[in-house]
Amino acid sequence: MRLNFLPDQDFAGRLDRDDPLANFHSQFIIAHPGLIYLDGNSLGRLPVGTIKRMQEAVEHEWGHELVRSWGDNWWEAPIRVGEKIASLIGAASGQVVVTDNVSIDLFKLAAASLSLQPEKTKIVTDALNFPSDLYILQGLVRTLGNRHQIVRIGSPDNDITPDLDALAASIDADTALVTLSHVVFKSGYLYDMAAITELAHKGGALVLWDLSHSAGVVPIALDECQVDFAVGCTYKYLNGGPGAPAFLYVRRELQKQSLSPITGWWGQKTPFAFDLEYVPAPGVARFLSGTQPILSLQAMDAGLDSTTMAGIKNIRQKSVLMTEYMIFLYDTYLAPLGFSLGSPRNPDRRGSHVSIRHSEGYHINRSLIEEMNVIPDFREPDNIRFGLVPLYTSFMEIWEAIRRVRAVVEEKRYQKYPSNRQIVT
C-alpha cells in the first residue's frame, strides 16, 4: 500500500477525494477549521447530534419528567447502551454493560477473575500497559492480602512492541490472569487478541483485555476469541465526551460464577425490594454497583451513532491507510531530523495512533500546540502521539501536521519553551 504514496500536498488531496468516509466529518463540531486536532485518541470530538441529545436529557428528561425518567429510560441505560457497544466489539447480547470508569471496572473484573481460581497467585501483564491499569492491580493485590504477585514483562520507555516470548514464558500453571491493553497507549502496538487469549487459556489462565485504545477503531471479536473479561473506554474513538462511563464485558459462560467485589444495588437481583442481603442479578448486570451518571451516559450514547453508521470495517480500512500514510511522510520528512518512529511498522500490529520520538519531544509538542495550531499529545519520556480518527481526520491534516512538525524543528521553535513539564492529558 505504501509503495503508491507520493510526498506532495496534492496527493493528500487525492486521498481525501477518494475517502468513502469523508462525509462523516460533518457529523462532528469542527469549531476551529484551522486547528489540526490529532488527539481524538485522548478525547474524541463532539458529535453534532450530542448537543441536541444533551439538551433533551437535561431539559426534558430531568427538568420536565423528573424522577419519572428513571422508569422510562434511565434505569435501563447501562444495559441498553451496553448492547450498542456489544455490537461494535464482537459480543453477542447480554455480556456488556456501561458503567463507572475503566479503572473501577478493571478492579471489579480482575477481582472476579482471581476469585475464580483462588489457588493461583500470578497475574501477568506488561510494562506497556496503561499505568493506571497497573496501579489498579497493585491496589487489588494489597487489598487481597498480598497473596498474589504481578509479573510485568518488558521495559516501559524503550519497548515499542512487547516481548512475546517473555510473555509466553511467564504464563504457567500458577497464572490466574493475563491482563493487557489491546492497543498500548504509548506506541499504539496492537496485540493479536486471538493468539494471546489462546496462549493464556492453554496455560490455564483467564484473560482480561483493556480495549480503551481499540474500541471503535479496530475490529474486535471478543466472542470469537473466547475472551473472558474486557473493559474499555468510550471517550476516545467512541466520542462519548469527557470522562464518559466505561464498559465492561463478561463472557456468558463465566457470568454465573463471577462476582463483583463492589456489590451495589444496581447489581442486585431485586433492587426495589430493598432486601437486606445481596443477591446477585442473574447476568452481567451484577457488575453494576451504584447510580450511574446519567447525563454523561446519555451524551455517550448519542456519540456512538456515527461509529455504527460508518461500520468498524470501513473505519479500520481508513485508519490503516492513514497511519501508513503518516509513517510514509515521517520517513520522507522527519526521519532525517533526529526523530525515531515510536510505533510498529507492521499495520497489522498497530492501532490508530502514530508516535514519533525526539529528544526534544516535550518542547516540540508544546510548540505545536502553542504556535502551530496542531494538537497532538505527549507521553514521557519522548513520545509525541498523533491520533488519527477515521471519522473526522483528513489526509490533508496529516500532511499539514507533518509539515508543521518539520517547521518546528527546522526553525528551532521548540527552544522557546521552558522545560518545566505541565499536565497534558
* Sites for its own copies among residues 215-234 (CB under 8 A): 233
Distance in angstroms between the alpha carbons of the first and the last residue of the chain:
33
362 is a site residue for its own copies (CB under 8 A): no
Considering the complex, state which of residue 14 and residue 269 has its C-beta at the smaller distance from its own copies: 269
Question: Which residues, listed in sequence order, are joined to residue 268 by a DSSP beta bridge?
Answer: 280
Exposed/middle/buried for 219, CB within 10 Å: 0-12, 13-18, 19+?
middle
Given 108, 366, 385, 413, which residue is catalytic?
385
CB of 349 to its own copies, least distance (A): 22
Using alpha carbons, select from 12, 47, 18, 133 the residue that is nearest to residue 391.
47
Given 130, 185, 191, 362, which residue is catalytic?
130
311 is a site residue for its own copies (CB under 8 A): no
416 is catalytic: no
Considering the complex, state which of residue 3 and residue 276 has its C-beta at the smaller distance from its own copies: 276
Side-chain half-sphere of 82: how many Cα atoms within 13 Å?
27
Helix (H, G, I), strand (E, B) or coil at 290: coil
Q: Angle at CA 121, nearest 5°, toward 118 and 124?
A: 120
Choose which of 90, 94, 156, 204 interacts with its own copies (CB under 8 A): 156
142 is catalytic: no
385 is catalytic: yes
Choose which of 3, 17, 257, 273 interacts with its own copies (CB under 8 A): 273
420 is a site residue for its own copies (CB under 8 A): no
Q: Angle at CA 37, nearest 5°, toward 331 and 155?
A: 55
318: its cell numbers: 481508513
Length of the chain: 425
Exposed/middle/buried for 422, CB within 10 Å: 0-12, 13-18, 19+?
exposed
What are the backbone dihedrals phi and psi of residue 155, each rounded to the nearest 5 degrees, phi first?
-130, 130
Q: By CB under 8 A, which span of 83-91, 136-144, 172-180, 193-201 interacts with its own copies? A: 136-144
414 is catalytic: no
357 is catalytic: no
Q: By CB under 8 A, which span of 15-23, 60-68, 357-365, 402-410 interacts with its own copies? A: 60-68
Lay out the site mask for its own copies across 14-53 (x = CB under 8 A, - = otherwise): ---------------x-xx----x-x--xx-xx---xx--
Helices 312-329 and 395-410 cross at an angle (nearest 10°) of 30
Helix (H, G, I), strand (E, B) or coil at 208: strand
Peptide bond into 347 cis (omega under 30): no
Considering the complex, state which of residue 3 and residue 31 has its C-beta at the smaller distance from its own copies: 31
Given 53, 108, 236, 350, which residue is catalytic?
236
Q: By CB under 8 A, which span of 63-71, 194-202, 316-324, 350-358 interacts with its own copies? A: 63-71
Q: By CB under 8 A, which span of 9-17, 189-197, 289-297, 309-317 interacts with its own copies? A: 289-297
